[in-house]
Amino acid sequence: MTSSPDPRTYDLDALRERVVDDRRGEVDDSIPQLAEADPALCAIALALPDGDVRSTAQARDAFSVQSAVKPFLFALALLDTDGAALERVGIEPTGESFDAITLESGTGRPPNPMVNAGALLTASLVDGDDPEARSARIARGLAAFAGRDLDVDDDVAHAEHLLGDRNHALAHLMRAEGTLDATADDAVAVYARACATLVDAETLAVMGATLAFGGVNPRTGQRVVPEGVARDVVSVMATCGVYDGSGRWMRAVGIPAKSSVSGAIVLSAPGRLGAAVVSPPLDAQGTSVRGRLVSEALSDDLALHAFAS
């Protein structure tokens, strides 16, 4: 039997060259800042158990994290509510788009924390008496996952808040169902600011690795969340992280992941590594085209598929 390549020596640059000329997909245009993203951007990073981070060109180019923040919001909500967040949000896949105007029948809960309704709720459950305090708590939590302080793009946050009509609709619907305690406007504002957090591929890989290593940041050695919280988050990433494409993702890639309209994908291979890919052109499910190709290659080449023997 031939052993799989060591992530420490795996040729990430060659992998990038294999996919960088793929021109398929469309850049998201839901807000002006996303529409202006460079479609040629393509970066890959791996974060390893010893804290080493390996990456390609453009892996330190900043972008707004967008939906890739959702696993970390879920983790912080679980932490700050001692697990009670699981009573407020479901964990089942929907088979629908990320912004579908739908809640669980009979409970009024969001179906899972990886769709927009769930993320609006989890962001509202972190500690804080008002939106500013909750945003500050989220900023501290994301910094702990990243191992460094992170900035927020205020223009992106403003645009997300101003133009997020479907998010406002979801928040009002949850208010009507008695699921959401915060006002709709406050919930959208906190979530919009979280989505506007600036990261790069290297940082996002470390964040994914923190979940993959049971809640311990491999760069800082800090325990960010308990092992059980990390396990729960990675489990829901596996079933719900790529929305209505999650089943196909787990069959082909087999690594828990969260996609994003900014073209970022964060991956958490439990006990093995964290990874991130960013490339803005998206497929019909809102997943980076090049990011999917890279993820499939990493899974095959490094034997990361969760269900491979």
Per residue in 140-151, pLDDT tens? 999 999 999 999
Q: For position 105, what pLDDT does the model report?
A: 84
**In the predicted model, is pLDDT for residue 99 greater than 80?**
no
Residue 77 confidence (pLDDT) above 90: yes
**47 three-state secondary structure:** strand
Q: How far apart are CA 29 and CA 217, in angstroms?
A: 33
For residue 245, pLDDT beyond 60:
yes
Q: In this predicted model, what pLDDT tens digit does every residue of 204-243 receive, in sequence order?
A: 999 999 999 999 999 999 999 999 999 999 999 999 999 8
pLDDT in tens, 166-198: 999 999 999 999 999 999 999 999 999 999 999
**Is residue 146 within 8 Å of 93, Cβ to Cβ?**
no
What is the mean predicted confidence (pLDDT) over 291-302? 98
Identify the CA nearest to 26 among candidates 202, 288, 246, 204: 288
> Which residues in the chain belong to E strands, given as ranges?
43-47, 53-55, 63-64, 198-199, 257-259, 264-269, 273-278
Q: State the Cα angle at 12 between 57 and 22, rounded to 5°.
A: 75
Q: What is the mean pLDDT of the chain?
A: 95
- Arithmetic mean of pLDDT, 50-59: 98
The answer to whether 191 is annotated as binding is yes
Residue 67 counted as an annotated binding residue: yes
CB neighbours of residue 23 within 10 Å = 10
pLDDT attached to residue 3: 61
Q: Is the pLDDT of residue 1 over 50?
A: no
Question: pLDDT at position 172, please?
Answer: 95
pLDDT digits over 29-49, tens only?
999 999 999 999 999 999 999
Do the annotations mark residue 243 as ligand-binding? yes
Query: Does 266 belong to an annotated binding site?
Result: no
Q: What pLDDT band is residue 244 in, cutting at 50, 70 and 90?
A: confident
167 is in an annotated binding site: yes
Give the pLDDT of residue 207.
Answer: 98
Position 271 pLDDT exceeds 80: yes
pLDDT of residue 80 exceeding 80: yes
What sign for the dihedral angle of Cα 40, 301, 243, 232?
negative
- Report the alpha-carbon distance of residue 274 to residue 218 in Å, rounded: 10
pTM check: above 0.75: yes
Q: What pLDDT was estimated at residue 135?
A: 98
CATH architecture of 12-301: 3-Layer(aba) Sandwich (3.40)
How many Å apart are CA 165 and CA 303, to the nearest integer?
A: 42
Q: Does 217 belong to an annotated binding site?
A: no
* β partners of residue 47: 53, 274
pLDDT at 163 over 60: yes
